[in-house]
């Protein structure tokens, strides 16, 4: 990718993941972000495919006597059928003192050397191909996982606020609530309680400080509550989200995840 597209992608990811995320209100920006992330994935996968092959081990030269210089590579190697080397034994008649049996034995040894020289090269090529394909698959899987993990609906993650006052207005309805960071002016609290021997998680939210929206569920399942953005919502929430947007708050005993859906 070019430097310009890298900068554009960084800006879009800041709008999607940063503390002032606003990309979900801009469908065109969300679509552009997905396209640039896909281009980056393809670019990284292409660079992985271009990894150099493992260097081949050079084949030691075969020993030849001066009279055996007629041994040459076969024309079959240059025909393009296969890259492997084929050696033609020309030792016949080079030494008058050797009988036919010696010639046959020498040819068999030469054939063994040639076969032994070919197998390592094939093995190296296959091994290099397997390594390259594995690297490409690993890079593709990692990028795909990162893209699938991105949820454009997520707008905030709330943590407990130790300095905020507890919400006593709820009474004993939900139990000992812990105050969390405000969500664009919306007060949010959560707790874990024991009810008839069953551990429950409770999550409540208030847009006015007097009326509460909340629910409880088993700790294993987690708890989710919906908060609509209306004309009576805090000004910060109305400025951040269009009317009739639902804020989905999810609590599973730690931070509170917030997603927005129209």
pLDDT profile of the chain (262 residues), mean per 10 = 80 84 82 84 74 57 49 48 46 49 51 49 59 56 42 85 72 75 92 86 84 84 90 92 92 91 78
Phi first, then psi: give them for residue 121, nearest 5 degrees. -65, -45
Give pLDDT, residue 14: 86
Place of tokens 């910060």: 236
State the distance between the two ends of the chain, measured CA to CA, in whole angstroms: 34
How many Å separate Cα 175 from the centre of its chain? 41
SS (H, E, C) 108-158: HHHHHHHHHHHHHHHHHHHHHHHHHHHHHHHHHHHHHHHHHHCCCCEEEEE
pLDDT at 229: 93
| Cα–Cα distance, 96 to 103 (Å, whole number) | 11
Calpha distance 183→236 (Å, rounded): 9
Per-residue model confidence (pLDDT) at position 164: 81
Using DSSP's 3-state secondary structure scheme, residue 193 falls into: strand
Instruction: Please state, in angstroms and as integers, the Cα–Cα distance from residue 20 to each residue in 12, 24, 118, 152, following that order.
Output: 12, 11, 62, 13
* pTM score, whole prediction: 0.42
Per-residue pLDDT at 184: 93
* CA 198, chain centre distance (Å): 39
Cβ contacts of 88 within 8 Å, gap of 6 or more? 71, 72, 73, 74
Question: For 92-243, where are the E strands, in sequence order?
Answer: 154-158, 178-179, 187-195, 198-206, 212-218, 223-228
**Residues 161, 163, 168, 169: what is their CA dihedral angle, to the nearest 10 degrees?**
-70
How confident is the model at residue 100, as a pLDDT?
Answer: 52
User: DSSP assignment, residue 109?
Assistant: H
What pLDDT is stored for residue 86 in this prediction? 43
What confidence score (pLDDT) does residue 145 get?
39
What is the structure's pLDDT at 83?
46
Using CA atoms, how far residue 159 sits from 54, 80, 190, 204, 258, in Å, is 51, 67, 10, 14, 11
Alpha-carbon distance of 180 to 165, in angstroms, equals: 10
């Amino acid at each position: 990718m070019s430097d310009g597209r890298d900068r554009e992608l960084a800006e879009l990811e800041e709008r999607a993941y940063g503390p002032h995320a606003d990309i979900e209100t801009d469908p065109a920006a969300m679509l552009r972000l997905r396209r640039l992330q896909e281009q980056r994935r393809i670019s990284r996968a292409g660079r992985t495919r271009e990894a150099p092959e493992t260097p081949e081990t050079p084949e030691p030269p075969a020993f030849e006597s001066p009279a055996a210089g007629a041994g040459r590579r076969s024309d079959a190697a240059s025909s393009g059928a296969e890259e492997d080397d084929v050696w033609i034994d020309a030792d016949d008649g080079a030494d008058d003192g050797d009988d036919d049996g010696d010639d046959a034995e020498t040819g068999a040894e030469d054939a063994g050397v040639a076969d032994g020289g070919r197998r390592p090269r094939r093995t190296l090529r296959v091994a290099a191909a397997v390594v390259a394909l594995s690297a490409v698959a690993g890079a593709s899987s990692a990028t795909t996982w990162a893209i699938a993990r991105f949820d454009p609906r997520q707008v905030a993650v709330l943590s407990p606020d130790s300095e905020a006052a507890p919400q006593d207005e709820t009474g004993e309805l939900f139990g000992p609530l812990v105050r969390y960071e405000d969500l664009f002016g919306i007060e949010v609290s959560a707790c874990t309680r024991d009810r008839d021997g069953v551990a429950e998680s409770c999550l409540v939210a208030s847009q006015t400080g007097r009326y509460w929206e909340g629910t409880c569920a088993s700790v294993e399942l987690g708890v989710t509550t919906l908060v609509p953005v209306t004309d009576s919502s805090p000004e910060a929430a109305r400025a951040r989200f269009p009317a009739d947007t639902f804020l989905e708050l999810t609590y599973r005993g730690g931070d509170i995840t917030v997603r927005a859906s129209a």
